[in-house]
Chains A and B, each alone.
Chain A
Amino acid sequence: MGKGTCKGAEILYQSLLDEGVEYVFGYTGAAVLPILDQIYQAHLTNVNPSIERIKNMGKAKHTAITIGENIPASPLDQADRVWKGAEVLHQCLLDEKVEHMFGYTGGSVLPIFDQLYKSPINFILTRHEQGGAHAADAYARATGKVGVVLATSGPGATNLVTGLATAHMDSIPVVAITGQVRSNLIGNDAFQEADMIGITRPCTKHNILVRDIRDLGRIVKECFHIARSGRPGPVLVDIPVDISSGQIQGPIDTKMQIPGYRPRFKGHLRQIQLAADTINQSKRPVLYVGGGVIISNASDLLRQLAIKANIPVTTTLMGLGAFDENHPLALKMLGMHGTAYANFAVQECDLLIAIGSRFDDRVTGTVDTFAPHAKIIHIDIDPASISKNVRVDIPVVGDAAEILGQLVNLVKPVDRSGWLTQIDEWKQKYPLRYDTDSANIKPQHVIQALGRIADGKAIVTTGVGQHQMWAAQFFQYNQPRQLITSGGLGTMGFGLPAAIGAQIGRPDKMVIDIDGDASFSMTLMELATIAQYKLPIKIAVIRNTFQGMVRQWQEMFYGKRYSQTQMYLPDFLKIAEGFGIKAVGITDKNQVEDVIAESLKYPGPILMDFKVEPEENVYPMVAPSKSLHEMELGRLA
């Protein structure tokens, strides 16, 4: 290349051409926007010979199985018994009170599946291991229990990686059990071998290969303990097939040996007192609440604290539902697509009380100007979260419920009517809104109607993108564990398998998958799982024929050059029909309410395909490298 400045994407593009690359396969996303744009612009001026060549070519309801009552205390300590490895694993699962498992079969897990053949544990066979991982994750999110997924060695295990990374970013307790090739073949590039410990190390809380059958019982117990305690997360245990099929004489050792693992549960008393004093002196405090409050089941205590001390509450995407959004103190979500009044409140507050939240970049905008006038209290169980992105004044390390329980007694009922009046003014002036006069169906309209007709009682799962943000903004959440969404990793395709896990975990609840057309396309084979297990899941596809969020960024920052974001979509109605699932298409905005009402009443699974305004944007929006108060409010503001 000659002299002159050029973009990184240009260099990459030129390098691809130099290497003789004719085709690039893949998918869009915010992090590759400059590269997509380069490809798009290059194609305007150059003719790709390969493209030219191509052009010239011709209610059934799920019943939960109750187990536990008929199972005696663990027989693992019996001395007079020989166990198979798979039996030990199975007994450990029963001891951990596992009722449901998700996953897929394969050669290296045959001994385990043979054990499950006669098991009281209910196994859900997803159509892809990624779906199994997401389902186990959502099961954990919906119930608070540990989700369990089982997959075979090699490709089965690597297919779990996206699911594990998703659970890792959102601190969800999942135990993934993977088969591994025979111990003596490990490291030999055997058939269906993959180094799962190496591959999953950065996307699990802990992982371990079982090297000796004598360690199996102890390791499985440690895995469950690590997954669910402290800041929860996914744990992977890799079991070679000779160990699951091997034999061992009882008693089985299950005494945990994890000297390096000591999560702190109780908060430091002096720090809690300091936090309470600071709250009592504050004139304009805001509670900034994340998924940690939901994980520690602290919603009631949060409510008590907010009401007693008159403190408005904003939640992160992961924290939605931790505080009833119908309450006058609720500010809904903050951050990049948060409400204007939540973002203004954070920027104007004199005290920010962060609980179980981690100052993610989608929450803070530019860190330097985030909450510029505020002292910051940060309550979190993970010491590494504290002062990671934003310098914290008063850290309190420990469990949210434990600390909130003490804080509620220490805060005083202070009159903060001036501050609350200011916030009410912002609420009046900048409500969430959209164009209700449009002839097309507006996606926000669909989601608002779903929320209203479900009467705030349903569990919502989502994919990732615009529809996810609208689901966060326009569905009213009033209880924890109500919204199940991939917040940290932002995993497209999460919604449908997550709905399966949520429905299995909560058969008493209506589960609605609010999905984007592109997200849905990524995992729609799980419709087969829904049909097989007769799960009455309601699927609302927001069909705008784009990967909407990436398109929105291209509209705003790349001169409307829609590189690779327009979707070719199949007929979802026929697809659903092929899977044996009822489906209905909606193109008329006047029918939205009626169709939703009817569909939610339908006893079985149903797919609603809403053809919506193709180029609708999500507002408010804090553009990258802007401060929260510099958000764009859209055309209607």
Chain B
Amino acid sequence: MNENKTVLGVLVENRPGVLAHVAGMFAARGFNIDSLVVGRTEDPTVSRMIIVTSGDEATLEQIRKQLAKIVTVVKVRNYSEQECVERDLLLIQVHCPPDKRTELGELATVFRGTVVDVGPKTITIQLTGPEKKIEAFIELCRPYGILQLARTGVIAVPRTEQPKTQPVGQE
């Protein structure tokens, strides 16, 4: 079975219980949720969920259809079928005696992360980027000793379509 990862952008009505409905549907039908992020949008009546899920092709098709079937779900878009900007935010607290501060600070800089807190034996770094970059950074921090980490999960928006050629015949 080919397990594919998919990012879905799900526009839902902004009212109580919708998140429970969506999460409950995934649980009841045995679908995976790798990450799920909900946030308000420019329109106060709707929220956008970004769901990262995985499964074979038939399962992913069922997931999209079952989501669309929920009355409070307004629109389902498959972001994996188009160019998207994807970002995950990481806050990671690493064991860091004073003599390692420079080293870890430089590591953060390489990944364009920011040091947001320093303690006597710890350092906290904030990092944004696509999932793979975040995961690579976590692996690099592991030898130092990770004390805590938190991630937002992926949020995404489709890229604006760029005009490929100049329109012909228009002055």
Contact = CB atoms under 8 A, between A and B. Distances in A.
A209 B18 CA distance: 12
Interface in B11-25: 12-13, 16-17, 20-21, 24-25
Contacts of B65: 383-384, 386
Of the listed residues B17, B28, B68, the one surrounded by the most CB atoms of chain A closer than 10 A to its CB is B17
B82 interface: no
A260 B75 contact: yes
B71 interface: yes
Nearest to A226: B71
A617 B68 CA distance: 43
A559 B71 CA distance: 47
B62 interface: yes
Contacts of B61: 387
Nearest to A382: B69
Of the listed residues B16, B17, B69, the one surrounded by the most CB atoms of chain A closer than 10 A to its CB is B69
A261 interface: yes
A197 interface: yes
A625 to B, nearest CB: 20
A382 B69 CA distance: 8
B96 interface: no
A384 B28 contact: no
Contacts of A260: 12-13, 70-75
A261 B71 contact: yes
Contacts of B25: 202
A61 interface: no
Contacts of B12: 260
Nearest to B13: A260
Interface string A440-484: 000000000000000000000000000000000000000000000
Contacts of A384: 62, 65-66, 68-69
A387 B58 contact: yes
Interface in A369-424: 382-384, 386-388, 391
Given A197-B17, A384-B62, A387-B58, A205 B71 contact: yes
A49 interface: no
A260 B71 CA distance: 6
Interface string A227-271: 000000000000000000000000000000011110000000000
A55 B69 CA distance: 55
Contacts, number: 43
Contacts of B73: 260
Given A201-B21, A384-B69, A259 B13 contact: yes
A206 interface: yes
Contacts of A382: 69
Given A260-B71, A384-B69, A201 B24 contact: yes
A205 B66 CA distance: 12
A388 B60 CA distance: 11
Contacts of B17: 197-198, 201, 209
A386 B12 CA distance: 23
A386 B17 CA distance: 27
Interface residues of A, number: 19
B47 to A, nearest CB: 12
Nearest to A259: B74
Interface in B31-69: 58, 61-62, 65-66, 68-69
Given A201-B21, A259-B74, A260-B12, A383 B68 contact: yes
Nearest to B73: A260
Contacts of A383: 65, 68-69
Interface in B93-114: none
Contacts of A386: 65
A386 B66 CA distance: 11
Given A259-B13, A260-B13, A383-B65, A206 B20 contact: no
Contact of A198 (B20, B70, B75): B20
A391 B58 CA distance: 9
A40 B16 CA distance: 47
A202 B69 CA distance: 12
Of the listed residues B16, B58, B65, the one surrounded by the most CB atoms of chain A closer than 10 A to its CB is B65
Interface in A1-39: none
Contact of A206 (B16, B62, B66, B71): B71
B24 A202 contact: yes
Interface in A130-172: none
Contacts of B70: 260
Nearest to B21: A201
Of the listed residues A226, A384, A391, the one surrounded by the most CB atoms of chain B closer than 10 A to its CB is A384
Nearest to B62: A388
B71 A202 contact: no
Nearest to B66: A384
A47 to B, nearest CB: 41
B143 to A, nearest CB: 40
Contacts of A387: 58, 61-62
A260 B70 CA distance: 8
Interface string A198-224: 100110011001000000000000000
Nearest to A211: B16
A217 B82 CA distance: 41
B43 to A, nearest CB: 11
Contacts of B69: 382-384
Contacts of B71: 205-206, 226, 258, 260-261
A384 B68 CA distance: 9
A198 B20 CA distance: 8
A470 to B, nearest CB: 33
A226 B65 CA distance: 17
B52 to A, nearest CB: 21
A422 B169 CA distance: 66
B36 to A, nearest CB: 17
Interface string A87-110: 000000000000000000000000
A387 B61 CA distance: 9
A386 B69 CA distance: 13
A375 B9 CA distance: 34
A258 B20 CA distance: 18
Contacts of A258: 71
B14 to A, nearest CB: 11
A202 B28 contact: yes
Which 8 interchain pairs have the tightest Cβ spacing? A384-B65, A260-B74, A206-B71, A261-B71, A260-B73, A259-B74, A384-B69, A383-B65
Interface of A: 197-198, 201-202, 205-206, 209, 226, 258-261, 382-384, 386-388, 391
27 contacts: A197-B17, A198-B17, A201-B17, A201-B24, A202-B25, A202-B28, A205-B71, A206-B71, A206-B72, A226-B71, A259-B13, A260-B12, A260-B13, A260-B70, A260-B71, A260-B72, A260-B73, A260-B74, A260-B75, A261-B71, A383-B65, A383-B68, A384-B65, A384-B66, A384-B69, A387-B62, A388-B62
Given A260-B72, A261-B71, 16 more contacts: A198-B20, A201-B21, A201-B24, A202-B28, A206-B71, A226-B71, A259-B74, A260-B70, A382-B69, A383-B65, A383-B68, A383-B69, A384-B68, A384-B69, A386-B65, A388-B62
Interface of B: 12-13, 16-17, 20-21, 24-25, 28, 58, 61-62, 65-66, 68-75
